[in-house]
Structure 1
């Protein structure tokens, strides 16, 4: 994988290449940044670069012989390079013996299948690939034993040995403490790359032994250009999607999916607002029962989406396109609805949905929470209509 396959992030790429030029590659790095910014893509591209795939003579690095370089490229194309190891959270499938210590190797086939689809993915996608159902994935002590064993071996290609740990914050305490030992005294030319969503959950002793690489949100123009070039999207649609994606390639791709979750959320938002405007209590009760059937995580995502639409509809009233981040479908609805979200109710609506997110997170009865939302929305739309 080349850096050219990473969307945007030129500044980070230049920084990493400079480390190689100056022969000061850290033995442990932690890639951090917002969801969908391409942390994993950067780590995988840099690992490929260190192992020889992308080196250029002007970088001041030793150029691999052509035959050897083609061999490396072939191995990396399938993510089967013997000196590149991946570590990631896994589940314990039903029927697995309790004495078996789960490791990444138990799901190696599923992992490579997912990587073959691209370096931009979510934990939900990975859980689906493992058929996790309601199980939570974690990195257990068996994984730290496996990492130590693999990295103790001599490099098969005579260069770096690299371990990419995806979501290290999901390590349990025993695993984290064992891994700490090898981080303190790593084998020669061994590089750890931790791709982290929530660095604050990692042990402070681990964080202090890594060099943090902060990755910013992807620029709107980079997402838009990639949508045009990679997905053949027309320029106007690409710019709209890029603005709504808020620096996340994953969100941008989701917007292209006609059955994506946000379209369902938009339908539910429109239904709530129309029923509340008509003061149709009976139908609002059915609405609240329908959304209470969603899982709690989906309910929180939907409420966060509602919060965003409240903000966007309020900003739409200023008639400044630079302030509005909506898809074409969202804007079509806002054209007639936005006037009902104004100074009289925007704060109250925002607090209503924010409070509901908190209540759902604290396991409140979702039917009561959503029916309360429905009734309060009636009152707040009345306030807005008087403005």
Structure 2
């Protein structure tokens, strides 16, 4: 994988390339970034650049023998470790390497749910077991075979239990030219003994414009559709790609219409809306609620006189200003809480018709009857 294939993260790409060119490559590094930020493809592109036989100023060449093998994830000096769903105690990452190559090549912005879909996971819990730790030690005990560096990329070290302490020696005192790259999402869940032995590199969430431009140029989305998906994804490209697999539609008009029905307390129109949303399918229902949550939060920024921080297309911004005129921050926060609870229950297969009716009634109470639902911490108007 080349750096040019990775969305955004230009500053970090330059930082990694500079470290290689100045011969400042730490033997143990931790790329820490949220899901969908591109930490894993960055690690692979970085390893490919290290091994490239004809490095360019801003990327690997992509055509040398080493690069061609990296593109297929079949270089003899490139190794992977990752959580898996072991059927036998002696299973290791190598047992599932073919599935791993297929999954990563199909989508470098893979997450654990996507990875689970490539395996016969059943109800097993993902982990990185002691057999895999011993396999890592074995892999890294040999000198590089073809390239200057032998690289092991460990995805999601959060799934290393206390058995991970077996890796401390190989991390702290590796063989010459052996590089250990950890790719993580949650620093607090990593063993402190491992964390303290790595150089931390923080990977930020992707910028709104990076995701929007990617959806337009690579997936041929319209400006409006790309803007809405980028807005909903909150910097998570994995989420953005998932949304592409479902019906492309604008949630803005439907959500604003819903709020207007609730504000005017139009019972029959609310019932029509409930019937409509109940037929949308769960993924679209979740995306709709997520859009609503984000939209109301933008209204809160307007109410707090932080208009410069609002990130909405012009048409939606105008609507948000009008909506902000009929609510205050406690009301907006109460609506957000109802939408978040609804999203939680949709994920857990709640009946959508009953759920959206209940949420509609709560929003009517908040907007029309000016009543903050009891049981929360918001101050009523």
Q: TM-score range by the shorter chain?
A: 0.7 to 0.9
Q: Deviations over 1:211-267 (max 9, x none)?
A: 01111222333333322322233445434443443322223333433348x989998
Note the aligned Cα RMSD (angstroms).
Answer: 4.5
| CA–CA distance in structure 1, aligned partners of residues 351 and 127 of structure 2 | 28
* Number of equivalent positions: 363
**Which residue of 2 is the match for residue 194 of structure 1?**
182
**Which residue of 2 is the match for residue 73 of structure 1?**
67
Q: 8 Å contact 2:299–2:332 — kept in the other structure?
A: no
Query: SS at the partner of 1:345?
Result: helix
Shift of the 254–283 alpha-carbon distance from structure 1 to 2, 3 Å rule, reads same
Q: 8 Å contact 2:143–2:176 — kept in the other structure?
A: no
> Which runs of structure 2 are paired with 1:128-147 in the superposition (5 Å)?
128-147=117-136
**Which residue of 2 is the match for residue 229 of structure 1?**
217
**Which residue of 1 is the match for residue 5 of structure 2?**
5
Q: 1:351: how far off?
A: 4.3
Query: SS at the partner of 1:86?
Result: strand
Q: Deviations over 1:57-94 (max 9, x none)?
A: x69xxx9xx9x9632122112110011001110013xx
Q: Deviations over 1:140-188 (max 9, x none)?
A: 11110111111112211041110001111011211x1111221121111
**Which residue of 1 is the match for residue 208 of structure 2?**
220
Q: 8 Å contact 1:103–1:143 — kept in the other structure?
A: yes
| CA–CA distance in structure 2, aligned partners of residues 301 and 124 of structure 1 | 17
Q: 8 Å contact 1:316–1:324 — kept in the other structure?
A: no
The unaligned stretches of length 5 or more in structure 1 are none
Query: SS at the partner of 2:179?
Result: strand
Alignment of 1:345 onto 2:331: yes
Alignment of 1:249 onto 2:199: no
Query: SS at the partner of 2:64?
Result: helix
Q: 8 Å contact 1:345–1:380 — kept in the other structure?
A: yes
**Which residue of 2 is the match for residue 120 of structure 1?**
109
Shift of the 227–299 alpha-carbon distance from structure 1 to 2, 3 Å rule, reads closer
**Which residue of 2 is the match for residue 90 of structure 1?**
84
Alignment of 1:308 onto 2:294: yes
**Which residue of 2 is the match for residue 258 of structure 1?**
246
Q: 1:50: how far off?
A: 0.9
Shift of the 103–200 alpha-carbon distance from structure 1 to 2, 3 Å rule, reads same
> Which runs of structure 2 are paired with 1:294-373 in the superposition (5 Å)?
306-312=292-298, 323-325=310-312, 341-343=327-329, 345-352=331-338, 356=341
| CA–CA distance in structure 2, aligned partners of residues 164 and 140 of structure 1 | 16
Alignment of 1:185 onto 2:179: no
**Which residue of 1 is the match for residue 197 of structure 2?**
209
**Which residue of 2 is the match for residue 379 of structure 1?**
365
Alignment of 1:105 onto 2:94: yes
- Greater shift in the superposed pair: 373-382 or 13-22: 373-382
Q: 1:52: how far off?
A: 1.2
Q: Deviations over 1:288-318 (max 9, x none)?
A: xx89x989xx999987665324324556889
Query: SS at the partner of 2:80?
Result: strand
| CA–CA distance in structure 2, aligned partners of residues 231 and 163 of structure 1 | 32
| CA–CA distance in structure 1, aligned partners of residues 162 and 252 of structure 2 | 38
| CA–CA distance in structure 1, aligned partners of residues 306 and 9 of structure 2 | 32
Q: 1:149 aligns with which of 114, 135, 138?
A: 138
Shift of the 313–114 alpha-carbon distance from structure 1 to 2, 3 Å rule, reads same
The unaligned stretches of length 5 or more in structure 2 are 372-380
Alignment of 1:42 onto 2:29: no
Alignment of 1:173 onto 2:173: no
| CA–CA distance in structure 1, aligned partners of residues 286 and 226 of structure 2 | 27
**Which residue of 2 is the match for residue 19 of structure 1?**
19
Query: SS at the partner of 1:85?
Result: strand
